[in-house]
């Protein structure tokens, strides 16, 4: 059986834990209304006022004027996330993190030591609360997809069990928006087709979905039928590491798209360095507004975990390997495969001063972010996705979704890491 553990309002809950005077108040983490930032996370009191992640902070201020706005401290949240994962690893080595605040756990081989999957789930939930003063929601099922849906169903402080063989009965009455990849745009298509529940979607022919959504249609059909044979894959056993993000509004501006690719690249490469891995093949995934999805890849001359090496490859794929004329983009993903342990790589006899300098730069940047926060240092081009495409303060329109190193809930449920 598989557990999906998802922290409740993670960023905001960490801030509230460390500043008890804020308890009982709506909390918004992210940008400030004055600086045209966006909401990275909001606690449930703020959400009751209509605040959600990736909303312009100015709009959040209008909806919830009494809210307390706090800056993001991603590297601090990462430290707390590692404490949570330490708890997971007490029960199973098969832990697959999706982001800072959620992970899949395969506990099939742990039952003789710790009891049934339900007992393990309750022990993990209790340990997180007692040791870290944080609340997690847990979903338990025989597949990753159903476990993830279950963990989200009764938030906050949820605990939902779907017994093996009961997947279809569990899924059928749920809104179609519970399926990964069904966001606002896809939901509008289903609305026109009269599809409101997963049962309705299950009744559609697979070929019809393929005509509407391309290969993504087959994926939707499989999930509606509870088909998901992916196993839980820890980072060190993964064939690839990736991050992707789905935007609430399609993006045409190539400079803004490059900025998002840079942010996704930095997230992937930091995971490589955190797990002491190198990668050689860089992948770029692009889904256009018509749901056509393409993946391009390039293999580097040598394995690396240097940000500049992987960023140059990803930027090359974006600039020269996409169709000259294409639809606006609704999803971007960056991944790297061909993973190696540094000790297994034969080093060159001749030094590479530029490569060494870039390695030192990454090391210094990691140390600065660890000490002062993720926003303390960054490449200038990465500012573009927040400088452009931010709606006017009074528009109330959402901005492009947050990256897969997500806040509390993405605008469009993200696909899992590409494996």
Nearest to 288 by CA among 243, 247, 258: 247
Strands (E), 8-158: 27-30, 39-42, 68-70, 95-99, 102-106, 136-141
Residue 222, burial from CB neighbour count under 10 angstroms (0-12, 13-18, 19+): middle
Dihedral angle sign, alpha carbons of residues 169, 170, 173, 177: negative
Residue 36 Rama label (left phi>0; alpha psi -120 to 50; beta)? left
Q: Which two tokens stand for residue 386?
A: 């927040």
Where are the extended beta strands (E) located within 236-292? 240-251, 279-288
CB 152 within 8 A of CB 8: no
With CA atoms as reference, report the closest residue to 331 among 388, 291, 387. Answer: 291
DSSP 310-375: HHHHHHHHHHHSS-SS-PPEEEEEEEEES-B-GGGSPPPSS--HHHHHHHHHHHHHHHHHHHH-GG
- Distance between CA 333 and CA 326 in Å, rounded? 17
Q: Which among 16, 102, 244, 263 is annotated as catalytic?
A: 102
181: Cβ–Cβ under 8 A, 6 or more apart, which residues? 216, 219, 220, 246, 412, 413, 415
> Could you give phi then psi for residue 216, rounded to 5 degrees?
-60, -30
Phi-psi region of 28 (alpha: psi -120 to 50; beta: other; left: phi over 0): beta
Torsion angle, alpha carbons of 192, 195, 196, 200, to 10 = 170
Asked about 102 being catalytic, the answer comes back as: yes
Tokens representing 307 are 């940000």
Q: Which residues are catalytic?
A: 102
């Amino acid at each position: 059986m598989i557990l999906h553990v998802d922290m409740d309002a993670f960023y905001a809950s960490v801030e509230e834990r460390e500043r008890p005077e804020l308890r009982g108040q709506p909390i918004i983490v992210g940008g400030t209304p004055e600086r045209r930032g966006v909401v990275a996370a909001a606690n449930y009191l703020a959400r009751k006022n209509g605040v959600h992640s990736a909303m312009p902070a100015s709009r959040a201020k209008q909806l919830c004027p009494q809210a307390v706005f706090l800056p993001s401290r991603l590297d601090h949240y990462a430290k707390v996330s590692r404490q949570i994962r330490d708890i997971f690893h007490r029960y199973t080595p098969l832990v697959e993190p999706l982001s800072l605040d959620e992970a899949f756990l395969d506990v099939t081989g742990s039952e003789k030591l710790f009891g049934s999957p339900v007992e393990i789930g309750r022990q993990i939930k209790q340990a997180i609360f007692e040791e870290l003063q944080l609340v997690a929601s847990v979903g338990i099922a025989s597949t990753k997809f159903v476990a993830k849906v279950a963990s989200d169903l009764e938030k906050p402080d949820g605990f939902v069990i779907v017994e093996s063989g009961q997947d279809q009965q569990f899924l059928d009455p749920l809104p179609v928006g519970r399926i990964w990849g069904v966001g606002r745009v896809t939901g509008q298509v289903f609305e026109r087709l009269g599809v409101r529940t997963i049962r309705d979607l299950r009744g559609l022919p697979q070929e019809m979905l393929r005509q509407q959504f391309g290969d993504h249609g087959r994926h939707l059909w499989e999930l509606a039928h509870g088909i998901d044979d992916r196993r839980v894959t820890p980072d060190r056993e993964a064939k690839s590491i990736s991050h992707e993000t789905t935007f609430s509004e399609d993006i045409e501006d190539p400079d803004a798209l490059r900025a998002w690719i840079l942010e996704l690249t930095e997230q992937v490469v930091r995971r490589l360095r955190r797990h002491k891995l190198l990668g050689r093949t860089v992948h770029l995934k692009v889904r256009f507004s018509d749901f056509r999805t393409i993946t391009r890849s390039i293999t580097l001359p040598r394995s690396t975990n240097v940000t500049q090496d992987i960023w140059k490859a990803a930027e090359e794929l974006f600039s020269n390997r996409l169709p000259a004329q294409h639809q606006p983009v609704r999803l971007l993903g960056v991944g790297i495969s061909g993973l190696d342990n540094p000790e297994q790589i034969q080093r060159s006899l001749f030094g590479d001063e530029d490569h060494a300098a870039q390695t030192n730069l990454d090391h210094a940047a990691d140390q600065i972010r660890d000490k002062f926060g993720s926003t303390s240092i960054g490449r200038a081009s990465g500012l573009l996705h927040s400088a452009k495409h931010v709606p006017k303060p009074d528009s109330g329109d959402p901005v492009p979704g947050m990256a897969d190193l997500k806040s509390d809930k993405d605008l469009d449920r993200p696909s899992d890491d590409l494996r």
